[in-house]
Chain A
Amino acid sequence: MIWNETKECMSRDEMTALQSKRLVKLVDYVYHNVEFYRKKMQAVDLMPGDIKGIEDITKLPFTTKDDLRDNYPFGLFAVPNSEIVRIHASSGTTGKATVVGYTRKDLDIWSECVARCLSMANVGKDDIIQIAYGYGLFTGGLGAHSGAEKIGATVVPMSTGNSKKLTTMMVDFGATAIACTPSYLLHISEVLAAEGLLDKIKLRAAICGAEPWTEKMRHEIETRLNITAHDIYGLSEIMGPGVACDCQYHRGLHVCEDHFYPEILDTATLTPVGEGVTGELAFTTLTKEGIPLIRYRTKDLTSIDRSVCECGRSSARISRFKGRVDDMLIIRGVNVFPSQIEAALVDVEEVTPHYMMIVDRVNNLDTLEVQVELDQRYYTDEVRAIEALTKKITHVIQQALGLSAKVKIVEPQSLKRSEGKAVHVVDNRKLY
């Protein structure tokens, strides 16, 4: 099922022409409405008129997550707040969140993109879909929700945190589709199995995203639940879920490239690489009004394929992700930077700034253990003092990450000191 044949199946030439037209308009728009971009362009003597087509995109400056942080909260918005109808936020590299704003038109385009993705999973108006992403500042819940409403499906806004209720309703409502993180769906499959409900469900499709997963994991989900599982990709800076998704052939994720122009950059030189070559993915939001971003570096590593897919779509496909350029981790769908832990621990004087994060997956759910060293000056002979400290740090980390971690106090001087780049993370999950 193809939601928007005109856009998803247009010829390469038509697509290039459309992207060119939209880029020219976008550059003029940001130059006049976003001081940040105007200054960046002026710094390299670039005028909007210099950008005549998509081939000129390499003349434009990059945008990074740090730029969003430096202009926190609304500095990169191109419209006044009277035009913004929704705010979302994700975690930044340090304490400050990355904030994005959407105009009404942005929300329409977002739901259009999600509608295309759901159609790739063959989900339509006859389906009952449970949205089991978190609703709130995180884009997952509301993003998937609006797309599911757009295709006319019966939407059940489950949100996260109650597996029992989810499985009960999955059976009682006869839910045919679900949108959630892949690790959560694996967990759900175990809950269903444990309750003897596997043969009572009517589920046939899952749209999973918000964290990296492997083909092996996809097959496992499909086999356990006897469904088809699709990989949906997105990031709040660009839009949220719906930037790309894989069709029934699972040969890469179709990018909604009439709205988000993808580039793959050489990680050392930041110049575009050819098709099939792995590099850092960057997006330019061709139609976004609220917070348009030019050449936003996602830090995700992938490659691109522009050949027409067997499904009939001609939209470019990005391969399954091959890793990250930076040290960001995605734990239970939450973006986590080790620097956030570091910043949080600075305020706890009883421990040293040394820490280690141990990430694992137990019963298909991500776990995070944070090991911190007791500071010699706060050495104690009382168990409860250490237990109180553990509780305090757990709270501080919960506040900083929005994620619960298991805190383990370790002996002073026991964490490995590294010469050169410090290693703060041991990730025992095999995600790439």
Chain B
Amino acid sequence: MFAKQLTVFIENRTGRLSEVLSVLKDNGVNIISMSLADTTEFGLLRLIVDNATKGKEKLSENGFSSLLSDVSIIKIPHKVGALSQLLKVIDENGINIEYMYGLSVATEKAYVVLKASDTALVDEILTEQRIETLSCEDLARL
């Protein structure tokens, strides 16, 4: 199962990040998790929100381009070695991880957001291994 991630390309300029965030705030789009990949020139703001489609639409109305992409949000136990165990499964199948970040929800379980070179294959493997992932609907309920 995939979830939608909202990515916004932003130039490294003062105030740019908060402009994006205030558009989401003003439209009641809740940010569940985020990661900012930054370089000296630009940043890629990757967001997991409760309604990614709405987020994209509202950003667009306010002059921000964005992208929706499929990512796997994987539920893992809050214990030592759990993430390592997950990555082992992915590595064994020769899949490259493009990027990964944690999703912070205060429950007994932890979540990681993962984008792989082959998203469909990752999903297949996770299903096969009975590893729980979150869908867009799940996110809306979080």
Please list the residues of chain A having a beta carbon within 8 angstroms of any beta carbon in chain B: 374, 376, 379-383, 386-387, 390, 408-414
Contact = CB atoms under 8 A, between A and B. Distances in A.
Given A381-B7, A382-B98, A387 B39 contact: yes
A414 to B, nearest CB: 7
Contacts of B9: 374, 379-380, 386, 411-412
Q: Which 9 A-B pairs have the closest CB atoms?
A: A381-B7, A379-B67, A412-B65, A383-B37, A381-B69, A376-B65, A410-B11, A408-B41, A411-B11
Interface residues of B, number: 20
Interface of B: 5, 7, 9-11, 37, 39, 41-42, 44, 46, 63-67, 69, 98-99, 115
10 contacts: A376-B65, A379-B65, A381-B44, A381-B46, A381-B99, A381-B115, A409-B41, A411-B11, A412-B9, A413-B63
Given A409-B41, A413-B63, 7 more contacts: A374-B65, A379-B66, A381-B5, A381-B46, A381-B67, A386-B42, A390-B41
Contacts of A380: 7, 9, 44, 67
Contacts, number: 46
B71 to A, nearest CB: 8
A288 B11 CA distance: 53
Nearest to B12: A408
Given A374-B9, A412-B65, A383 B41 contact: no
A409 B43 CA distance: 11
A361 B56 CA distance: 40
Contacts of A409: 41-42
Contacts of B65: 374, 376, 379, 411-413
A367 B10 CA distance: 24
Contacts of A413: 63, 65
A262 B44 CA distance: 56
